[in-house]
Amino acid sequence: METAKKAKSGKNKKLPGVDIANPVYDVVFKYLLEDNAIAKLIVSSIIGENVVTLKAQPQERTIAKAKAEGENPLTVYRLDFAATIRTETGTYKLVTIEMQKAGLPTDIKRFRRYLGDRYTDETNYTDDNKAMQIYTIYFLGKDLGICDTPVLCVFPEIRDLSNPANIIQSKSEFIESLNHKCWIVQINCLKERRRNELEQLLSVFDQSNLTKDVHILNVNEEDFPEKFRSVIRRLKAAASDRDVKKMMREEDGFLDYMKTWLHNETKRLEKALAEQAIALDEKDKALDEKDKALDEKDKAIAELRKQIADLHKG
């Protein structure tokens, strides 16, 4: 009995965790996906398809500051890939994969512009001039109000309007060329959600594993299937890379700048709105006084007319 207790206790005992770089930082996210085998593993796991080849397109990082046009001052990190996918029937198809990581999901205008660029980009056509299907993957630091669902998938469906419950399974090049599949990873919803292998993999983003250093997460490598251990090793290497550490500190500086900018901009807008409210209130008071003067004038005219009418009667 004592031996059984010891064995049970040893089985449940947590192994010491390993420190990994926090992949919510753009530089770590980039470092992770620069390893093509890992990028292919992550993309395949999210989309649930067999990615045979994955080629990164020229990368773009957009940092928007306050502009007269009202561009939202948020950071959106973007990666584009060209992927060859082996279908269930054994055939192959080329798709364009657009991956974006953002702190907030509110910059809809920029997301739409990026997506529009993919649809109009002439490189997203095959050699025989067929439009490549577009997949989009979003990593969002804030949830969309759809709670307790770490990964959302949005797929276009073909339905017979005479029987909407009937989903048509046939494929159409026309429809696939004009619609896209979308996956959304809600990083804040990953806490303690390990219902399948994908959620196990994405738990490397789980911010509940933060250490005292916001740049570092501590995870238990044994919690990950063997096929995902390369991700842990890659993030472990990033945690000790001097250049990565330096860039994380620079991102902190940028985010601090943006927080200060947003605070000051909020205060400026609040002051402007308060001044506008005061001006409108004064305008309302002036209009009230004008209305009172007009009422008194109307009363005086009415009284004068009454007096004139009385004189005529006399």
Rounded CA separation 59/125 (Å): 19
Q: Is the pLDDT of residue 50 over 50?
A: yes
Average pLDDT, the chain: 84
Give me the mean pLDDT over the 197-214 stretch: 94
Asked if residue 28 lies in contact with residue 244, where contact means CB atoms within 8 angstroms, the answer is yes
pLDDT confidence of residue 300: 83
As a whole number, mean pLDDT of residues 238-252 equals 92
Among 32-36, 160-164, 199-203, 213-217, the least confident range: 160-164
99, 145 contact by CB (below 8 A):
no
Q: Is residue 70 scored above 80 in pLDDT?
A: no
Q: Among 31-40, 169-178, 252-261, which stretch is predicted with the lowest mean pLDDT?
A: 252-261
C-alpha distances (whole Å) from 76 to each of 92, 146, 186 are: 31, 21, 15
Q: Where does the pLDDT of residue 58 fall: very low under 50, low under 70, confident under 90, or very high at 90 and above?
A: low
Q: Compare 61 and 77 and report the one with higher pLDDT.
A: 77
Per-residue pLDDT at 9:
40
59: left (phi > 0), else alpha (psi -120 to 50), else beta? beta
Band of the pLDDT at 71, cuts 50, 70, 90?
very low
Distance CA 89, CA 106 (A): 39
CB atoms within 10 A of CB 184: 20
Per the DSSP assignment, residues forming a β-bridge with 84 are 53, 94
pLDDT at 105: 67
Q: Which amino acid is at 194?
A: R
The per-residue pLDDT for range 249-294, each reduced to its tens digit, is 988 887 777 778 777 888 888 888 888 888 888 888 888 888 888 8
Q: Hey, where are the domains in the chain?
A: 16-240, 242-314
The identity of residue 207, as a single letter, is: Q
Q: Is the pTM here over 0.85, yes or no?
A: no
**DSSP-assigned letters across all residues of the chain:** -HHHHHHHHHHHPPPPPEEEE-TTSHHHHHHHHTSHHHHHHHHHHHHTSEEEEEEEPPPEEEE----TT-----EEEEEEEEEEEE-TTS-EEEEEEEEEEES-TT-HHHHHHHHHHHHH-GGGB-TTSPBPEEEEEEEESS--S-TT-SEEEE---EEETTEEEEEE----HHHHHH-EEEEEEEGGG-TT--SSHHHHHHGGG-GGGB-SSTTEEEE-GGGS-GGGHHHHHHHHHHHT-HHHHHHHHHHHHHHHHHHHHHHHHHHHHHHHHHHHHHHHHHHHHHHHHHHHHHHHHHHHHHHHHHHHHHHHH-
Q: What is the mean pLDDT of residues 70-83?
A: 72
pLDDT for residue 314: 60
How far apart CA 260 and CA 263 sit, in angstroms, is: 5
Q: Is the pLDDT of residue 131 over 80?
A: yes
In the prediction, which pLDDT does 103 show?
A: 78
